[in-house]
Amino acid sequence: MVDLPETGDGQEGRALDYEQAGPMAVRMLLGARLRKLREAAGVSREDAGYAIRGSESKISRLELGRTTFKLRDVRDLLDLYEVSQDERATLLAMAGQANAVGWWQDYSDVVPGWFLPYLGLEQAATLIRCYEVQFIPGLLQTPDYAYAVLTIGDDGIPGPRTERRMHLRMLRQQILQRPSPPRLWAVIDEAALRRPVGGADVARTQLEHLIEMARSSHVNIQIAPFSGGSKAVADGPVTMLRFPEANLTDMVYLEQQTSAIYLNKPIERFYYWNVLNRLATEAAPPTDTAAILDRIRREI
Amino acid sequence: MDSEVPSSPSTKIDTTVPVSARIWNYWLGGKDYYPVDKEAGDQFANIHPGIFETARSSRYFIARVVRYLAGEAGIRQFLDIGTGLPSHDNTHEIAQRVAPDAQIVYVDNDPLVLAHARALLTSSSAGGTDYIDADLNNPGALLRIARDKLDFTRPVAIMLMGILAHIGNPTEDDDRAVQAIMGELKAALPPGGYLAVYDSSNQDTDLVDALAKYNESGADPYRLRTPEQIARYFDGLELVDPGVVPIEHWRPDHTPFDQPTRLSANLGGVARKA
């Protein structure tokens, strides 16, 4: 562990546990810090790119934490920005950690490439807000339900790949069992709850699992009933991840059938923040969740 | 349960006018605000640059007050009226660190604040948290719901942190409206209960100018009050030392760092009902 450099000017956020959060968070933090240092030094992206034998867009990618760091590049940038010896040591140590391989990379053979960054980001988040229309959110699925969902997407023949994908989904869920877990704020459409994925028994057990999970103080589930008009604002699932540092912006993740979009421009963040806020204010309050889930469970 | 709440505020989130809870979140370095709030917050700060520091010292004042109430004063029931959006170190987190069995009931009437409070101001401590959707302009209704959630035969602390500036009817005497509400709240306070308040005084000309501009924006107006008006909120109660003072001077923690040199125009205090 290294001391966390002062990267933000806000008070929000807890210290980030690198070991828990994984290299993605370290990359984002290091990138954000490098951007602050570059701006403070009055260096353009283009000039910084030139100093590390690269382009303006290479600097952009580095500063967003989208790529691994070469130690030589980081060293050259710190020279260019005239960073103090103390901070150099810390940032170079971070660069070393940022290149560590996340455990989820082991699963790159069974999940599409566009999903891997999400896995890294989800591990680093302190708040996960999501809206799901079709299925129960992955972080709240039981193994049997997950298995059923994964075989829908497949060719219908479960094989070793399905097993591995299910195992990955269960590993993802471990973030909710951490000593200081992220908060999960999920709005689930009633349609997703009533769809008997995997058959009635699997669906009922899944609903009981949701009731159980909603008891945790860090898991908040709200149900958007059929009667709600709010759903018009979202035509598919929306996930928004928040990270602990004040200068790391929220990330919006939109998953589609064969790809995913990652958004974090201010206008996009505001748009989807508003979508999630509308869904949450119009959905039933969390105090009603257990009763609604129990009613649906009995009706299946 | 929230479903029995009689008030019926709109569930609509207005993204076209600035809302104070969201602007405060922006000033505090949070991430929960709309472009309209950032714009209003920046415009305000152009005239009154000290507002960022004021936002922080206000949170810090709340933290010291809650620590005092849960600690030295032994309070286990808190009614926090005008919750605002979740921030770093919310009332229940501070109180339950001192006393895990402390119960905190948050009150607000903004749909966005309530949705966030219900989702995020939750606790695994013995005392737990609860929420009331009510308007301080109708203290009778607010107190009726509060009595279902807290035991008013035992000491309760009522907190009004930076919220009273929203009270007032331009066609009436503002002071009479706010003092009448305070009268009802103080009457409901059980013996041994506490009132904790901070409010913005009209002693800073930059702040007066910045607010005049803000109040033209279509936002719910925010009213500054004289130090005498703020002191009168506590009439009939026993003020805890050091009385009603600039919030930075209220029981500051001993720190190796310098105390802030610049004082905000916020005055605050804590008082006990005999």
DSSP letters spanning B55-67: HHHHHHHHHHHHH
**CA distance linking residue B113 with residue B220, whole number of Å:** 15
Q: Is A224 helix (H, G, I), strand (E, B) or coil?
A: strand
**CA distance linking residue B233 with residue B158, whole number of Å:** 12
Q: A256, A236 in Cβ contact below 8 A? A: yes
Within 10 angstroms of residue A170's Cβ, the number of other Cβ atoms is 14
From chain B, which residues contact A within 8 Å (Cβ)?
1-3, 11-13, 15, 28-32, 34-35, 56, 59, 87-88, 111-112, 114-115, 118-120, 122-124
**B89: closest chain A residue by CA:** A12
**CA distance linking residue A183 with residue A175, whole number of Å:** 10
Whether A242 sits inside 8 A of B123 (CB atoms) is no
Whether B118 sits inside 8 A of A218 (CB atoms) is no
Whether A288 sits inside 8 A of B115 (CB atoms) is no
**A273: closest chain B residue by CA:** B32
Amino acid identity of residue A42, one-letter, is G
pLDDT of residue A276: 95
Whether A185 sits inside 8 A of B123 (CB atoms) is no
**CA distance linking residue A278 with residue B83, whole number of Å:** 20
Q: What is the DSSP letter of A65?
A: T
Q: List the one residue out of B99, B184, B193 whose CA is nearest residue B134.
A: B184
Q: B178, B164 in Cβ contact below 8 A? A: yes
- For A194-230, write each residue's pLDDT tens digit: 998 899 999 999 999 999 999 999 999 999 987 666 5
The dihedral over CA atoms of B161, B223, B34, A131, expressed in degrees to the nearest 10, equals 50
What is the C-alpha radius of gyration for chain B, rounded to an integer number of angstroms? 18
Handedness of CA A75, A78, A82, A88 (dihedral sign): negative
From chain A, which residues contact B within 8 Å (Cβ)?
8-13, 127, 183, 185, 216-218, 220, 222, 242, 246, 249-250, 266, 270, 273-274, 277-278, 280-282, 285-288
Nearest to A274 among B15, B56, B118 (CB): B15
**CA distance linking residue A162 with residue A166, whole number of Å:** 6
Terminal CA-CA length for chain A:
50
**CA distance linking residue B225 with residue B207, whole number of Å:** 12
Within 10 angstroms of residue B39's Cβ, the number of other Cβ atoms is 15
What are the start-end ranges of the H helices in A42-115?
Answer: 45-51, 56-63, 71-80, 85-98
Q: Is the pLDDT of residue A87 over 80?
A: yes
pLDDT of residue B256: 72
**Chain A residues with beta carbon closer than 8 angstroms to that of B87:** 12
Nearest to A281 among B30, B32, B115 (CB): B115
Structure tokens at A266: 């201010």
Structure tokens at B232: 């009168």
Nearest to A278 among B13, B88, B119 (CB): B13
Q: Which of A238-252, B136-150, B215-229 is predicted least confidently? A: A238-252
Q: Is A260 helix (H, G, I), strand (E, B) or coil?
A: strand
B124-142: b or e for each residue (b if 16 or more CB lie within 10 Å)?
A: ebebbbbbbbbbbbebeeb
Amino acid identity of residue A31, one-letter, is G
Helices B174-188/B139-149 angle, 10° precision? 20
Structure tokens at B214: 């803000």
Q: Which of A7-16, A67-76, B121-130 is predicted least confidently? A: A7-16
Whether B2 sits inside 8 A of A287 (CB atoms) is yes
**CA distance linking residue B103 with residue A86, whole number of Å:** 45
**A281: closest chain B residue by CA:** B115
**CA distance linking residue B72 with residue A52, whole number of Å:** 58
**% residues pLDDT > 70 (chain A):** 88
- Give φ, ψ of B48 to 5 degrees: -130, 80
- Min Cα distance A281 → chain B (Å) is 6
Is the model more confident about A234 or about A170?
A170
Rama region for B26: left / alpha / beta (φ>0; ψ in -120 to 50; rest):
alpha
**Chain A residues with beta carbon closer than 8 angstroms to that of B41:** none
Q: Is the pLDDT of residue B5 over 50?
A: no
- For A124-167, write each residue's pLDDT tens digit: 889 999 999 999 999 999 999 999 998 876 555 667 788 888 99
pLDDT of residue B43: 95
Q: Is B18 helix (H, G, I), strand (E, B) or coil?
A: coil
**CA distance linking residue B241 with residue B83, whole number of Å:** 25
Whether B31 sits inside 8 A of A250 (CB atoms) is yes
Beta bridge partners of B159: B80, B196
**Chain B residues with beta carbon closer than 8 angstroms to that of A187:** none
- Min Cα distance A182 → chain B (Å) is 11
- Min Cα distance A232 → chain B (Å) is 15
pLDDT of residue A160: 79
Q: B172, B194 in Cβ contact below 8 A? A: no
Whether B31 sits inside 8 A of A218 (CB atoms) is no
Nearest to A12 among B15, B29, B122 (CB): B29
CA A138 from centre of chain: 12
**CA distance linking residue A193 with residue B90, whole number of Å:** 33
What is the C-alpha radius of gyration for chain A, rounded to an integer number of angstroms? 21
Within 10 angstroms of residue B190's Cβ, the number of other Cβ atoms is 14
- Min Cα distance B172 → chain A (Å) is 33
**CA distance linking residue B226 with residue A279, whole number of Å:** 41
Structure tokens at A80: 């260019």
**Chain B residues with beta carbon closer than 8 angstroms to that of A242:** 31
| Angle, CA B146 vertex, CA B140 and CA B147 arms, to 5° | 90
Q: B85, B21 in Cβ contact below 8 A? A: yes
Is the model more confident about A254 or about A226?
A254
Q: Is the pLDDT of residue B157 over 70?
A: yes
Q: What is the DSSP letter of A241?
A: E
**CA distance linking residue B51 with residue B264, whole number of Å:** 8
Whether B13 sits inside 8 A of A274 (CB atoms) is yes
pLDDT of residue A85: 86
Is the model more confident about B216 or about A18?
B216
Q: Which of A267-271, B133-137, B194-198 is predicted least confidently? A: A267-271
**CA distance linking residue B24 with residue B234, whole number of Å:** 25
Q: List the one residue out of B167, B181, B171 whose CA is nearest residue B220.
A: B167
| Angle, CA B224 vertex, CA B219 and CA B225 arms, to 5° | 145
Whether A185 sits inside 8 A of B2 (CB atoms) is no
Overall average pLDDT of the A9-13 stretch: 32
Between A and B, how many residue pairs show a Cβ–Cβ distance under 8 A? 70
Q: Which of A19-28, B60-69, B255-264 is predicted least confidently? A: A19-28
Interface with A, mutate which of B31, B53, B90 (most A CBs under 10 A): B31
